[in-house]
């Protein structure tokens, strides 16, 4: 999923900034504008171990594993709902991918 969201600065002192976000695997990347092939992201939010919390119909917070709270807001309620669903799915998938797998137990051969 990708599209515009509003991002609040960490200190909350600046007005909301419109940024283009791209959900890529277990990361939420953000750019000033839709990226081209050579565009580097302005930053990324790792969704592994992150907690997503709905604030209202358009706004949500992401608490990353480093303790930073990312305040984000969709442009409308429909987009807010779509982003929340996509972020929840991506966060769950990242957690499953990072979970250690149990070793396969083999039965000894008798012979």
- Kindly report, residue by residue over 31-87, the tens digit of the pLDDT: 999 999 889 999 999 999 899 999 999 999 999 999 999 999 999 999 999 999 999
Structure tokens at 103: 């070793």
Entry pTM: 0.84
Q: What is the pLDDT of residue 102?
A: 54
Position 23 scores a pLDDT of 97
List, for residues 5-14, the tens digit of each pLDDT value.
999 987 767 8
CA distance linking residue 38 with residue 48, whole number of Å: 26
| DSSP character at residue 77 | H
The first and second tokens of residue 17, run together, are 């900034």
Q: Hey, what are 44's tokens?
A: 């990324």
Q: Which residue has the higher pLDDT, 104 or 90?
A: 90
Which residues are paired to 44 by β-bridges? Answer: 29
């Amino acid at each position: 999923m990708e599209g515009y969201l509003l991002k609040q600065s960490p200190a909350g002192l600046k007005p909301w900034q419109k940024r283009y976000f791209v959900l890529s695997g277990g990361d939420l990347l953000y750019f000033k504008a839709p990226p081209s092939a050579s565009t580097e992201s302005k930053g990324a939010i790792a969704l592994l171990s992150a907690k997503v919390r709905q604030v209202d119909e358009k706004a949500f917070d992401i608490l990353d594993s480093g303790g930073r709270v990312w305040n984000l807001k969709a442009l409308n309620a429909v987009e807010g709902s779509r982003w929340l669903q996509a972020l929840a799915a991506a966060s769950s998938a990242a957690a499953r991918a990072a979970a250690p797998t149990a070793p396969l137990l083999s039965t000894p051969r008798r012979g």
